[in-house]
Amino acid sequence: DIVLTQTPLSSPVTLGQPASISCRSSQSLVHSDGNTYLSWLQQRPGQPPRLLIYKTSIRFSGVPDRFSGSGAGTDFTLQISRVEAEDVGVYHCTQLTQFPYTFGQGTKLEIK
């Protein structure tokens, strides 16, 4: 199985400051069709997950442009350019390149 390792697991951030979360995969996430099926999800407290970024860097409809994704192969990053109060929650990376689909452990974003 592909293991996704997120760092940090907890990230206290000052409002208005940037934040960055890393997701490292145990295997390349490049699919045989050439796509890299690495996504980022946001889960606010008491809410279901919500898609932010898919195929490494494509921002989903309605997602603020302060969120961006980058990376390739086995190393991926989610960046928030200026953290807002509504960004508090847990961020998960996930891969649908290979069965079984897997998720990172989650990174808790908190406001300092």
* Choice between 18 and 64, CB closer to other proteins: 64
Decide: is 94 part of the binding site for other proteins (CB under 8 A).
Answer: yes
Measured between alpha carbons, how far is 97 from 102 in angstroms, rounded to an integer?
Answer: 9
Q: With binding defined as CB under 8 A, does residue 42 bind other proteins? A: no
Examine residue 32 and tell whether it contacts other proteins (CB under 8 A): no
Kindly tell me which residue out of 3, 10, 55, 72 binds other proteins, with binding defined by CB under 8 A.
Answer: 55
Q: Which residues 60-89 are close enough to bind other proteins by CB under 8 A?
A: 60
Identified binder of other proteins from the candidate list 49, 69, 71, 89, rule CB under 8 A: 49
Q: What's the CA gap between 43 and 68, in Å, rounded?
A: 16
Environment class of residue 40 by beta-carbon count within 10 Å: exposed (0-12), middle (13-18) or buried (19+)? buried
Alpha carbons within 13 angstroms on the beta-carbon side of residue 66 total: 13
State how far the alpha carbon of 54 is from the alpha carbons of 38, 45, 59, 66, 87, in Å: 6, 22, 7, 15, 18
Nearest approach, Cβ of residue 85 and other proteins (Å): 23
Binding site for other proteins (CB under 8 A): 31, 35, 37, 39, 41, 48-51, 54-55, 60, 92, 94, 96-97, 99-106
